[in-house]
Amino acid sequence: MKHTIALFALLLSTVQALAARAPDEGVPSRVEVKYRVSVAGLPVGQGVDVFQHDGKTYSIVSESTVALVLTVRREAKGSVTAGGLRPLSYVETRNGRFKRSANFDWAAGQVQLTEGDQTQTVPLPPNTWDAASLAWNFAFSRSDGKDLQVHMTDGRRVTHYTYTILGREKITTPLGELETMHVKKVQENGDKRAFEVWLAIDRHLLPARVLATEKDGTAFDSMVESVNLAP
């Protein structure tokens, strides 16, 4: 159960902006997004993400509480470049206790990963983001084509993912009817975990809905409840 909860909390933040678009010069300096999470129509949790930037640097605080037993908090910092966001540090805690972290050394092409008391240094592919920063990168960069190739780390390992863009779709949310971009993970052979996201096109590609299915078939359905923007 804890693995399922943690996986969903991670997916909720990492799929936040996976869609092809031009760089958005108008991304607000502060964005706060609140979500509600349900399983089979029953509420099981909530989440709050806060993203801030000044055009040169950025910071992210993402906190999710699921099933009233686990609170996952992710904090990330980095720089805003012409090619998008470039992460420098990532820290994850669970119920207030350190769980894992990642420190990026772009000059050396390495990232130091720490989980508990275990630390390792691994190669750093050019397009790599932490579990929080990946969520926001596509609001600052361009990604062309129907398939998106990305690398991500949550402090355990660097993993490659492929997503496919299914096209535009209107959905109904607590914010009203929204025009979205539907994006879905490409599952490899033997991969039973699936997820897809509907990104609000006129709201900086924030997720209007996220559907994450665990390998046991449990489907976590999250829906945006509110979005607060600062100039």
**Total structural domains within the chain:** 1
201 belongs to a structural domain:
yes
161 belongs to a structural domain:
yes
Share of the chain above pLDDT 90, in %: 42
Structure pTM? 0.81
3-class secondary structure, 120: strand
C-beta atoms surrounding 6 within 10 Å:
18
Question: pLDDT of 140-162, one tens digit each?
Answer: 776 565 788 889 899 999 988 88
110 belongs to a structural domain:
yes
Question: pLDDT of 11-61, one tens digit each?
Answer: 444 444 433 333 344 688 999 989 898 888 899 999 899 999 999 999 999
H/E element holding 4?
Answer: helix 2-14
3-class secondary structure, 134: helix
Pairing state of beta strands 128-130 and 158-173? unpaired
Is pLDDT above 80 for 128?
A: yes
230 belongs to a structural domain:
no
173 belongs to a structural domain:
yes
Share of the chain above pLDDT 70, in %: 86
132 belongs to a structural domain:
yes
130 belongs to a structural domain:
yes
Q: What is the pLDDT of residue 20?
A: 32
Q: Which of 70, 43, 48, 42 is nearest to 60 (CA)?
A: 48
**Contact assessment for residue 115 and residue 99, using Cβ atoms and an 8 Å cutoff:** yes
Q: Report the chain's terminal Cα–Cα distance, integer Å.
A: 40
**Spatial CB neighbours of 39, under 8 Å, sequence gap ≥ 6:** 218, 219, 220, 221
Q: What is the pLDDT of residue 230?
A: 82
> How far, in Å, CA of 224 to CA of 212, rounded?
14
> How far, in Å, CA of 54 to CA of 108, rounded?
26
Mean pLDDT over each residue of the chain, to the nearest integer: 83
- The position carrying tokens 């960069």 is 141
**What is the domain range of residue 103?**
2-225
73 belongs to a structural domain:
yes
Which domain CATH number covers 144? Answer: 2.40.360
